[in-house]
Structure 1
Amino acid sequence: MEHPRSISARKAVQTTTSAGGAQSLDRAATLLILVGRAGPSGARLADLIAETDLTKPTVHRMLTALVRAGLLDQDPQTRRYHLGPEIYVLGTLASVRFGLHPVSMRALTRLSQESGDSAFLSVAHDVYSICLHREDGPYPIKVHSLEAGDRHPLGVGAGSLALLSALPDREVEQIIAANADILAEKYPRYAGSTLLRLVQETRQNGYALNPGMMLPGSWAIGMVIRGENGRPIGALSIGAIEGRLGEKRQQELKKLLRRETDWVEMRLRQLRHGASRSSGR
């Protein structure tokens, strides 16, 4: 007997009445769903053809386009298809009900209002960092080096550098080596031994500093959020124009970031252990 999911998937393709681009979107969405349902083992091309009842050239063409967009990934050894990195980004951005993102919203609001500048939440994914949220404060001049959804190699930017610096030395070296080519090509100011030096400075100072290395005049300061096992799970950062992030103000913002990262870590512990009452803030 044919699996109900296969029948459903086939109907999703066969019954579409839209033409052209709309039909292609329907088919692409069906392929994404089928690959996601395949789980960690991935989906074979032959199975996807059978489940959608589309021709091999059509399925292959769509899968190639989805891989190119980062929505799917193909294992070079098994040739099986898996959900790609951009799916992770979209899913993370959409996860506003549970976890780090919603807990951090109050902290981001306080940081942006008390500093007057822009506050950010970032997380690590593989060897990259992803900005999940940007909260702007009342100061009229904004920095525009980071927006929600932006992805950069770990270490590039204040929040990203805070995440990288919180990892063990061996992992730091592996990540920098994995990103060596893209750092040299697109982020030359971070290439070579520069990131290792920045990691050491971050550990010594207790916070990460981006002194306009991504975008001239756009500075930022960041601090890591740790899970109960001590591993980094996210980072809070504040971005401002260069004139608003002198050494004295860095120390002021460091205190704000420490207060809020401590608060986020506490709230996550409370939620994880089923605490029913809030922290009172």
Structure 2
Amino acid sequence: MLRRTGARIEEMLELTHLSLRQYQAPTGDTVPLLQISPSKTDHERVIPADPDLVAVLARIIRRIRGSDGRVPLLQRYDFHERCFGPPLPHLFQRVSLGRLAVISPTYFNQLFKKLAARAALIDVDGSLITFSAHDFRRVFATETVNSGLPIHIAAKLLGHLDLNTTQGYVAVYPEEVIRHYRAFIDQGRARRPRDEYREPTDAEWAEFRDHFQLRKVALGTCDRPYGTPCHHEHACIRCPMLRLDLAQVPRLLQIETNTRERLDEAHRMHWLGEVAALEESLRHIDVKKQQAERLRQQTQHDESGPTAFG
């Protein structure tokens, strides 16, 4: 959850079943959304949920549901306000002292320490590497910005009011590299229109939210980063960014059959250049078939699609 949302620890622990929303796009597709309640900046925000995040949320919901199929209502203790909140279907709950309770930040940090010890990752000086919930927020910021997402959109997703805060979350490199790279950025920024470094308009935010609707292809959806062109000349079979639609598996199998027929012909005609290319295509088709099997298993466990949040 932290890795896929960039949420603060208190924001994540406050999530409830009611935080999950669905947006009906103009194309008719249903887009899952995660609503983050106001916390540090007292600003509510909404995050589009990618398929991996949907699968995580679906597993959480399935795990905490009671025998009646509902998420139990629990009161969460607010350590800042020093009071209990109203009964809500909190997502992060566990059995504590024989009864259900919302996971506390203290217990969460204990889990992190156990995970670090189990992973046994060693730093260059031989010490055990530890990590905090906020580290995942920095990873989220770094990867979204490095993948081409405009920094003012990333700031919106993270709930930052100041772009400099978002910049500070991007991965830390040696001081000399930072100094030279910042000088390069400042030079480039001086040549760019000033309105690029501002709060996104409603239209820009809507464009970001809906941009993946333009990624629809015959076999599924293209998951390339926001604002980037297709570098594979729309050869979707070979592209790792293709997220296969299970409904299109018969089409994939037909493409495989046609490719094998063409490969047989190429062998007969001694078109060795075609043979190599077709064999490479078959290898990528096999990867897509394995992906389809993983997606099918997720679907069987209600971990994908618009019903995952139900």
Task: Give me the TM-score of the superposition, normalised by structure 1.
Answer: 0.25
Q: Which has the higher contact order (CA 8 A, sep 6+)?
A: 2
Q: Work out which of the two has the higher radius of gyration on C-alpha atoms and give 1 or 2.
A: 2
Which has the larger share of strand?
1
